[in-house]
Structure 1
Amino acid sequence: MTMRREAFLEQVKERGAYETTEEAERAARTVLALLGAHLVGEIRADLAARLPEDLALILLNPLQAREPLSPERFVRATAAWIEGATEQTAAWDVGAVLSVAADAAGEELTRRILLQLPVGYDLLFGHSQRV
């Protein structure tokens, strides 16, 4: 079931404590573009199918990554893409977006996503350990 755009962005806005929906959307676009470079095949398509269409397209047409980024480097890369961000604010951005994406994905797909990512992403998705 696809999550509606307004609902997705409202949850990101709430979890990220953003003042505007535009800030939440900027974080969502950046984080999903980076995440898309780390997911392949069916898992990326399955997650995209659960996201609002415009955000799904970003996930499916990701920024290119030469190698899988560790969770720390993923946060650093996010900070580099968001104007004025620090590693601390980027960690907040990543957590807000990925936890909402995990809710949209559901537990089984989130588990499959985490198996494709380097160790440590479970915390970024709001899980205390691999699910």
Structure 2
Amino acid sequence: MKANNAETPDSSNGSDIFKWIVTFGLLAAAVVGNYLYGEMSVVIRAAGVVVLIAAALGVSATTTKGKAAIVFARESRMEVRKVVWPTRQETMQTTLIVLAVCIVMALVLWGIDGIMVRLVALATGV
């Protein structure tokens, strides 16, 4: 991944601020519209919400931070493709080992708890 942490001087210009205001306005319109038009069909309201969210994502993608987020997502996808995933056998073996260790630790803690309860009862005379 790129190590581009330096922000450009125009990253907070007026255009980006306006775009973020429009983005949040669209999201607010989706929430308020869904509430105000509660008597309408659910399908129509859901379609309206989806359209408004898509528009908000489209507007936010044109900002400096939106473009950086898209680049980050693409680079992350490339990194995930490089991961060597375990085979089914390795996954099953690891799962069984974790399950066995959990059971053994539960039994050990149950035994320690039983011993401590008896010690406290012996010390307090209950």
- Please, what TM-score do these two structures have when normalized by structure 1? 0.22
Q: Which has the higher contact order (CA 8 A, sep 6+)?
A: 1
State which structure, 1 or 2, has the greater radius of gyration over its C-alpha atoms: 2
Looking at secondary structure, tell me which structure has more helix per residue: 2
